[in-house]
Amino acid sequence: MRPNLYRFPRLVLTLLALLAPVFADAQQLPRSVTVGTNPAGSIFYAVSSGLAKVASGATPIQMLVQPYTGSTAFLPLLNSGELDFGVNNAVELALAYRGPARLKVGGRNPSPDTPNIRLVMRGAPLLASLVVRKDSPIRTIHDIRGRRVAGEYPAQIPTWYNMFAFLASAGMTWNDVKVVPVPAANEGLDALVQGRVDAAIHALNSAKVREADAAVGVRHLSIDCSPKGEERLRTAVPGFYPRWIKAGSAAAVVEDTCVNAYDLYFVTHKGATEQVITTILKAIWDNVDKLPALHPTFKEWTRERAVDADVTVPYHPAAVQFYKERGIWSAKTDEAQRKLIALNP
């Protein structure tokens, strides 16, 4: 039996009609997007690189990692839309989103005013702690009184707040140590290796800590996690909370160590298109199981942590819709979203 050739044009037209939305979507998506982050060697850089690898592999969009001196440095670019995405933390974004007029910690808020920041996904907690040389006589945080400590951190404001909170946990202030100015956390660790400071701060499991450990031998130092110390920590900087880390579970953790924890955010700006946000978010959501192999921090970067009512900046509308469709957007989260949007409509 011979095929009816007159049916082929109709079949082709039907297929084209079905595929037209797909072609249209592909044409509307940009070839590439950028994600702002901290320098190579930092946790932020590792997380950004992991997210970029997964997103680029699962979408027609190439996500490019753009490092800056520190997280504070790229916030204005993200706020204006010059950058598409960024990896930052809950504390700095709270300060930046509310602005100096509405929120101060330690009597200051030097963060750039960024009312356009929007959350795409809440990620894993970031863990940070003091770092000293392995042969240092400093055994507890109370021993850094009067010592040389890396400080100021103008390019990376969250590090200033970390150290401020660490000192507060021990009942100290910046006046109780000798501050050696550095622009950001990486330079602080360089100063420790070079012998210019006695203590610095850095994230756990960062490449920079491993590099310093290989160079001179370093170890993390506990903050004061006594009940009073924890109360002082939480009061000093809202959003910080203590966490105990077992010896050997991270680089330079030579004994059970109490560190500071606060959440990482994958963020964008409110002008980002719904299609781009949905495409990138879906790629990460669908491939979240591939992330832990890329860096230890991703072990807690889960779907369960993506949405939370206790976030410090509002979600992007496309992210809200995405989470609603998956049934994980609660009435409590919706109320929190409304309150945050009301701060910067």
Each residue of 11-42: pLDDT tens digit? 444 544 444 444 445 458 999 999 999 999 88
pLDDT digits (tens, 9 = 90+) for 92-128: 899 999 999 898 888 888 888 999 999 999 999 989 9
- The CATH number assigned to the domain with range 128-262 reads 3.40.190.10
Q: Are strands 178-182 and 148-152 parallel, antiparallel or unpaired?
A: parallel
pLDDT digits (tens, 9 = 90+) for 197-222: 999 999 998 889 999 999 999 999 99
Domain with CATH 3.40.190.10 in the chain: 30-126+264-343, 128-262
Superfamily of the domain at 30-126+264-343: Periplasmic binding protein-like II (3.40.190.10)
Rounded Cα gap, residues 60 and 72, in angstroms: 30
Per-residue pLDDT, averaged over 329-343, amounts to: 97
Q: pLDDT band at 4, cuts 50/70/90? A: low
Long-range own/partner contacts, residues 281-288 (CB < 8 A, 24 or more apart):
281/120, 281/121, 281/318, 281/319, 281/322, 282/322, 283/54, 283/55, 283/57, 283/58, 283/59, 284/51, 284/54, 284/55, 284/121, 285/121, 285/322, 286/58, 287/54, 287/57, 287/58
pLDDT digits (tens, 9 = 90+) for 123-137: 999 899 999 999 999
pLDDT digits (tens, 9 = 90+) for 38-78: 999 888 999 999 999 999 999 999 999 999 988 888 999 99
pTM, two decimal places? 0.77
Q: Are strands 85-89 and 32-37 parallel, antiparallel or unpaired?
A: parallel
Instruction: Give the mean pLDDT of the chain.
Output: 91
Rounded Cα gap, residues 35 and 86, in angstroms: 5
The pLDDT, as a whole number, for residue 13 is 44
Per-residue pLDDT, averaged over 161-185, amounts to: 95
